[in-house]
A and B are shown apart, each in its own frame.
Chain A
């Protein structure tokens, strides 16, 4: 109550947004109902459909003991993914953008305030919440959502085929997977979202950041159209 009052004052006086001052943990608890079907948190929490979420802040991805993670999560984990305010915020917004083919089948929260509230709640179950930022340092500045007009670009598959020459020295056109994931036959929209996740640095892999980093929106759309079209 006191906290909320304090926030109201801040909002009125300084005009700051919720994201910059941290979320409302009470509302976060209510929102966590949407996670509870799969995740436990708090004393005695165990792995269920999803891993337990105690001490999730600063926890490396994929380390809950005895829990069998998807291949995608294991790959993200070996790539060094750590759950911070930023990465959790991203994951909860759209799990598949950060971790391909994750088994967490959850649509995601579009609303930044919902995510801030939920994270404020999760934060209470980490060992020393005092050391954890109340809000993402970049939350207000960076929006990783791919803009609707970018998603709407219709790619030219012929251009995509030419560009794909840069990809097939690593990603086999046959769709074979061996140390490097297959990228054929993906829904174009997922493909675009993932490529932008590399481009924006949301996904950490250095090769892919470099490859995606110089592709324009049109080029990403062209590649998505081409790879969607091959088996």
Chain B
């Protein structure tokens, strides 16, 4: 007689002592715990649950009940989207995909015991842990600013309430007032993000407060899509935007959140809104798990596994992976590669070779969209760029409008891909 599953179950039914065996089997389903329900984490959860068809037990840990996307939050500042359209719940992931969504903070990772501790006290065992916690800010990165100043001087670099606060402050500016931005040093989430924001703030001010000024202190020599943004700023917002680069002290800044001043190279400016975007690092839980090196968590490109622990994978902004920019598109792309690899490791399903892509759209003015994108492959060393493209200066209005329409389509596409 061959010993197969059916005969095993059959004989188990006869013997009381073995009755527990099938239960152990059921409980013995491999467990994946995912920390962070954003672009990386939600996508990974959905793909693992969908493709394993119940063979893997998937738990998603995310403190907020509604995820507000950072992507398109600048369009909210520009008046093109309302906040509600940026919020997404985890209902479908729980109901249709059988994902166990736990609304809590992960506060500890025991890599030997392979458990995650939650703020509420619970402990979640895992076979594979996926971390996609996004970013936190580097302490002391901007002199005079810390997290306790984020209400006076918002970063608006995490979605939701910070973005709303920034918009309210912009709308409350006195006529002819100054909006200032302290731009972050590389690497940071969404390289064109601060400059798309400048465009959208300028668009809003041009209507509501046409004599207002925009001042940017920037520690970077160059920035993403610079030619495209500068062309657009000249065309649409001439005379409104001043950017102070590192040559003129843009890297040497301090702020006073009580006095509402921004000092650039010792020169004190009174400002009405001060949008401080400090230097960034991986979400704190990555550091707590002990898998960071410097500010970020290094990973192997083939499966996004941590270079320090083969049972942990890191996705999105928190990962140091190589050439991909930190974007929602990248996090979503990495999540699918990781989901395929994790499923293969836990259930023996086919593992296909890794491949990655990214495209980032930015809106400069109404119907004036631009984009930059690339494809990537996994090498031994890192995620390496294969091929890319970028919008050109001087493109036709039609093409820019089509590019903007594409970005709207992409938003719907990626959100459906993340949340079902």
Contact = CB atoms under 8 A, between A and B. Distances in A.
Interface of A: 75, 77-80, 158-159, 162-163, 165-166, 168-174, 176-180, 206-207, 209-211, 213-214
B402 A207 contact: no
A211 B357 contact: yes
B396 interface: yes
Contacts of B407: 179
A173 to B, nearest CB: 7
A210 B389 contact: yes
Contact of B371 (A162, A169, A180, A207): A207
Contacts of A172: 412-413, 416-417
Which are the 4 A-B pairs with shortest beta-carbon distances?
A: A179-B409, A180-B409, A179-B405, A165-B336
Nearest to B396: A80
B414 A169 contact: yes
B408 A210 contact: no
B350 A158 contact: yes
A79 B391 CA distance: 12
Nearest to B392: A206
Given A165-B336, A168-B417, A172-B413, A207 B389 contact: yes
A5 B408 CA distance: 58
Given A165-B47, A214-B375, A170 B409 contact: yes
A210 B375 contact: yes
8 contacts: A158-B350, A163-B355, A170-B406, A173-B416, A179-B410, A180-B406, A206-B373, A207-B406
B54 interface: no
- Residue with the greatest number of chain A CB neighbours at <10 A, chosen from B387, B388, B404, B410: B410
Given A172-B416, A211-B357, A179 B408 contact: yes
Contacts of A158: 350
A77 B350 CA distance: 42
B352 A166 contact: no
B171 interface: no
B386 interface: yes
B352 A159 contact: yes
Label chain B's interface by main secondary structure: helix
Given A170-B359, A210-B357, 15 more contacts: A77-B398, A165-B47, A165-B340, A168-B416, A172-B416, A173-B416, A179-B406, A179-B408, A180-B406, A180-B410, A206-B389, A207-B373, A210-B374, A210-B387, A214-B387
A162 B352 contact: yes
A169 B413 contact: yes
B387 A213 contact: yes
Contact of B340 (A79, A162, A174): A162
Interface in B317-336: 329, 332-333, 336
Label chain A's interface by main secondary structure: loop
Given A180-B409, A207-B359, A210-B373, A169 B329 contact: yes
B43 to A, nearest CB: 9
A93 to B, nearest CB: 25
B165 interface: no
Contacts of A165: 47, 333, 336, 340
B355 A79 contact: no
B374 A79 contact: no
Interface string B357-390: 1010000000000010111000000000011110
A172 to B, nearest CB: 5
Contacts of B375: 210-211, 213-214
Nearest to B400: A78
B401 interface: yes
Contacts of B416: 168, 172-174, 176
B334 to A, nearest CB: 11
B371 A166 contact: no
Contacts of B398: 77-78
Nearest to A162: B352
Contacts of B350: 158
A78 B403 CA distance: 9
A34 B177 CA distance: 67
Contacts of B404: 179
Nearest to A161: B51
- Residue with the greatest number of chain A CB neighbours at <10 A, chosen from B352, B371, B413: B413
A174 B413 CA distance: 9
